[in-house]
Structure formats: C-alpha cells, structure tokens
Amino acid sequence: MPSRARASRAAARGRRPRRSPRRGAHGGRGALRGAWGTRSWVGFAPVRCPDRTIDCDSTVRRFERPAGRPRLNGSVLPDPDPALCRALAADLAAAGFDSASLRAAWGPSADAAIARGLRGPALRALALRDDPLAVVARLFVLGMPQPAASVSAAFAATGVSGLAALGLAEASGPDVAPVALIRPQEFADDAGAVEWWVASDLDEAALAAPLPEDHVLGVGGASLTLAALQLPTPARSVLDIGTGCGIQSLRARRFAERVVATDVSERALRFTRLNARLNGVDAIDVRAGSLFEPVEGEEFDRVVSNPPFVITPRVDGVPAYEYRDGGMVGDDLVAGFVSRVGGVLASGGVAQLLGNWETRGGVDGLERVRSWVAASPVPLDAWVVERESLDPLEYAELWIRDGGTLPGTPAFARLVDAWLDDFASRAVERIGFGYVLLRRAAGAPTLERYERVGQHVRDALGPHLAAALAAHDRLAPLSDDDLAAAALVVAGDVTEARHHLPGVEDPTIIELRQGGGFARSFEVDPGLAALVGACDGDLPVGALVAAIADLLEVDAAALRADLLPRVRELVFTGFLRFA
C-alpha cells in the first residue's frame, strides 16, 4: 500500500481529539502471589538477612543479636548426602508430590488458605487419607508430625533415618516430626515449565510462634518476583548474593553455565546445597561470607540478590530479624550494594536486585538511588523501577505485623513509635520499593532510567527486560535520520483504546495499551496514533511521517521532530519493534 494511503487510513482514525474533563482511571496496584506460608506485599516478602554487612564506607561490621533471642532453627544442617538426596527425590516423585496434585487433594480454597498461614482447611481435606501424598503433604507442607509407620511407608527409599540424616525430620515418640519444610514450586520461562522441591525452615504456622531471627525463608513473593525478573539470556557465570534457600540459584542455572551462591548463614547454604542436589541441579558453588567478600577479585556476567532491605530502627526492644534486616541504618545497605556491585560485574554484566529507598529531607528516593549509581567506581547503565511507595506509618505497620506483633497491643504501639522516631530522625517522608537493574558499561553510560510504574504485572518480566535492553542498545547509536530510515512493526500485545463523549464522533482521548511487560499505557495524539497504526514493517518511519504530515496539513520537519523521540520511547518500552 502506498505510504500516503496507509497514513491516510491511520490519520483518519486519529483525528485531533478534544480534551475532556472526564477521564477514567487505568491500571492499579497489584501483588505477585508468593509461595505457601510467606506473606507478600506488592511482590515483596520478608527476606533473609546476614549477620555481617558491608556499610557504604566499605568497612565490615557485625550486627550482634541481643542476648536471650531465640534460635529455634539455629542448628546447621548436615551436609546433604547425594545418595540420600536421590532417594528422597525418588520418594517424592513416587508420591506424586507436585503442586497440581496438592491443589487437587485439598482444593483451591484450602490451597489459598495455606498462603495465609491457615492449615486447618487442608488438614480437614486430608483427614481420611493415609496415602503417601497425604503423609508427605502433612509432614512437609503443613509441618505436622506423622506416625512413624506412615512416614516409613511414604519414604520407602529414604527411610526415617535418611530424613533425619538430611536434617529434615526427627523421631518424636511414636511420630516423626518435621524439622524443615519441603514444598513444590512451579516456574515457567521460555525454556519451558519446571517444578522444584524447595526445602526451608519451618514457618510460623508449623512453629506455632513468631519466626526466629535466623530463620531461612522458603519461596515467597519477593523470591518469585526476582526469579521472574532475571534476564533469561545465556550467561557464563551468575553470582547469587544472599541465596537463602537457593531459589534464585536454581532459576539462574537454567540459563547460566555456573552459579556461585553466597550467604553468611551456613544453614542457608546447606539448604541451597540440599535443594540443588534434591532437584538434580549441578554447577552451583556455595560460599560463606557477606555480600562481595566471598568473590573478591572475581567478575560475573550476572549478579542477582534479594537483599535484607527492610528498614528497622537500631534501638533496643526492636526485633532484628535476619531474614529481612541488614543491621544498618535506613537504606544504607541497598545504597552500599548499588554503589559497589559494579566491581564484581564483567564488562556488559548485569546486576538485578530488589530494594527500597527513602525519600528524605525533600530529596526524592529515586534521585537518591541515582546518586548511589553515580558513586560507583565503574560506569553503570541503570534502570530503576519504583513499584510502590508507603508513608512511614504504613511502612511501620506493615513490617511490625510481619514480625507477628498484633495491632492494638501495647507492644505494637511501642514499635510504631520506634519506627516513626527512626524515620523522623532522617526526615523520611516516604519509602519506595522497586527493582534495580545495573549494567557495567564499556564506556560512558547510555541508559539512565528512573521511573515509577504501578500497574499490575501479569507476566514474567525477564524476557521484557532483555528485549528492552536489546532495543536500547540498537537505538542508542542511531541518529534521527537512522531511525527515520528504519521500518517498525507494532508488538502483538498492543491495543488501542479511544474515549468518546456521548454523541461526539472525534475521540477525546486515544490510548495505546500494552498487554505484556509493565502493562504500560500511553496517551497519544492523532499524529502518533496514525504512525503506530501504519507501522507494519513495510515502509520506513520517515516516509510514514511525511505522509501523515501531508494529511494533517502540518509541517513535516516539525512533526518528525515531535514524533521521533516518542517513537524511541515506544521502541524501548516494547510497543514498537524493529522489523
């Protein structure tokens, strides 16, 4: 179709809209669901935390646990015997121990209740069953002691002694009591679907008490968020800092030749090693140490981390949970991580982490993150996305409830005061949560993107992030003339929405909406709507712009100068792609 005819059709659909005083709200807040028994808020859940941390001045200090704090899960697991891990995997497979079978056994309502810490509905559904799946589910999903005879029958290859040798269960009179949980975790990416068995410490429901400070978490909302964010493109080496139960290492090993998993908790490292062997995943090297200490002098193609980013007052009487608290003041841990991670990245290497940042003293939180990136001794491309924001009171209530203190009690009120005092001491106005992607640049950084995106995200973001980086790398060296000479196509998940006042032919608002990625929406004018509508890969952008200018009776050079920067944005964000 000639460019004028194609542009004519698109321009006719994109006549200049009249502004309307009424506009509907689009998008909204959303959360990625975490695994059973772990709370999640907008994709974030409590995260395990090291005893030792490196502050922004690169000095190492230990955050001491106050005397008398419980260590209910504090013993170090035995080194997992490979033969016993294979036997356990065989027993779990023979029992049909997978997510779909469990959902079928106790139903979707009970399945959802487990995520809220309610075991009763699932127990009721399994009450009359003593088959291997029911025994395994009660023992390792719900954390309930089971008769020794039933456990022996369900774990014919491993045996009760094998479970004890792996540090997963122990004899308790006529019963076998769980010492840890094992839960199936589904994951799907471009390589296909996979399901892992993931062992971790007993949760609050199984302990019938608040979590101990040195708890090793299972797979929660934050874990799933970061796993879905990981770039799925091949890599030679990946560093997983603060590995916890090892879920990020399992995820990374699907595209990486080798993974180094680090943690200050030997118990966490044993869980990582156990989970790797249980799932038949090799080439995961576990090392003890804080942050970058275990890999000094090494470089990696990727770094992933779910750091202990929860801001906690550094005063007596406030619990210091290792799984979420790095022992530093404010957001210093995330600041130090961002400013130093470039030192362990190979050229072109990418670091991805979750974090939070304070808006304080009138300085926006994202601007503070920008300053952390600028403090890096090596040049870094940066893409930082703030997904949610809370005021100090909301933040305090969220994490105090997470620690098991009930609202309405004197203890809750005291902790709220401690948090508010802490935030007031730094003039904190809001606390942001989000994703950080950093890439070691070969020369001067070309990507500096700091944004707030609050729409609900349905799909794994890793492929979208990889495509956006590739688009940026192709766009960065292109002049406007080069871009005008390129042919583009509309992505398959893009739709157009037009808003009309009753009885009015011309639209008041034209929106482009994205089904995947960050589910963005852009309000566009008739010229851009016409251009996007005409992008089918046949004609270059410049020819389409010239035809649209002719039809709209506007200056072609002015229209091109107006449209091309926005075309770059649409290409980066995935609305348009190079043909």
User: Can you give the pLDDT at residue 76?
Assistant: 61
* 48-97 pLDDT tens trace: 333 222 222 222 223 333 333 333 344 567 789 999 999 999 999 999 99
Q: 35 and 23: one domain? A: no
Calpha distance 95→158 (Å, rounded): 13
Q: 341 and 386: one domain? A: yes
Q: 421 and 383: one domain? A: yes
Which domain does 547 fall in, by range? 3-27+474-578
Q: 406 and 440: one domain? A: yes
| 521-524 and 509-514 beta bridge pairing | antiparallel
Average pLDDT of the chain? 87
User: Can you give the pLDDT at residue 51?
Assistant: 29
252-258 long-range contacts (CB < 8 A, ≥24 apart) are: 252/302, 252/304, 253/281, 253/283, 253/284, 254/189, 254/191, 254/194, 255/191, 255/230, 255/231, 256/301, 256/302, 257/283, 258/283, 258/284, 258/285
The answer to whether residue 563 is domain-embedded is yes
211 confidence band (pLDDT: 50, 70, 90): confident
> Both ends of the chain: CA-CA distance in Å?
17
- Please give the tally of structural domains in the chain: 3
* 538-562 pLDDT tens trace: 999 999 999 999 999 999 999 999 9
pTM of the model: 0.85
Q: 419 and 497: one domain? A: no
* 329-359 pLDDT tens trace: 999 999 999 999 999 999 999 999 999 999 9
User: Can you give the pLDDT at residue 301?
Assistant: 98
Q: 309 and 397: one domain? A: yes
User: Can you give the pLDDT at residue 63?
Assistant: 30
> How is 279-300 classified by DSSP, letter by letter?
TT---EEEEESSTTGGGTT--E
In degrees and rounded to multiples of 5, residue 82 shows phi and psi of -60, -40
DSSP 8-class letter at 484:
H
Q: 45 and 135: one domain? A: no
321 confidence band (pLDDT: 50, 70, 90): confident
The pLDDT of residue 1 is above 80: no
The answer to whether residue 388 is domain-embedded is yes
The pLDDT of residue 207 is above 60: yes
User: Can you give the pLDDT at residue 12?
Assistant: 47
The answer to whether residue 131 is domain-embedded is yes
Q: 545 and 411: one domain? A: no
